[in-house]
Amino acid sequence: PGTFRYDNNDLSSPTSDFDKLITGTNMTTNCNWTVDMVYYKAGLFGGPGQPTGSAGFKSMGRNYEVISDPKDLQVGDIVHFFQSEVDRSNPDTWSDWYHVAFIGEVNKKEGTVTGYDGGSYFMQGRNYKWVAKIDSGKLHGTSNWSAVRITNLTQNCG
């Protein structure tokens, strides 16, 4: 943890290196490539009518269901973060994008969602999870976010 990085050892490929990445090869990743790798591996990216990458946040918001209320978040929702205030329900206002993660857990009983993150949060702290209170309206410490649902996954959580 900290500043140690494998900047020159290889970059992960979002379409093909998921297994290589998780088996311990020295590799640097980033937020959108992590989302992409997981979604390609799960068969949710790259097929006919499916997205090809999570960094295309505006087109995702125009082509898939936009989730603007934290109470509606589900496992599998892709969360985009912005430097400035946005109208979560309107992709035309989404600018100053800086980060992406996905919802990995929803606990209605505890009133929390857990984001899974492969960006600098993971790279610097070796922790890929962050937890947010649903009723706070903030995810990962900010209210400047919006989420996109590209598919409805079966929900088996609390």
Helix (H, G, I), strand (E, B) or coil at 116: strand
Residue of 57 and 87 predicted with greater confidence: 87
* Cα 25-3-113 angle, rounded to 5 deg: 80
Q: Which residues of 24-57 are buried (b: 16+ CB within 10 A; e: fewer)?
A: eeebebbbbbbbbbbbbbeebbeeeeebebbbeb
Half-sphere exposure of 67 (CA within 13 A, CB side): 22
Q: How far is CA 13 from the centre of its chain?
A: 16
Q: Tens digits of per-residue pLDDT, 113-141?
A: 999 998 776 777 777 899 999 999 999 99
User: What does the pLDDT read at residue 17?
Assistant: 65
The per-residue pLDDT for range 48-64, each reduced to its tens digit, is 888 988 988 888 988 99
Query: pTM of the entire structure?
Result: 0.86
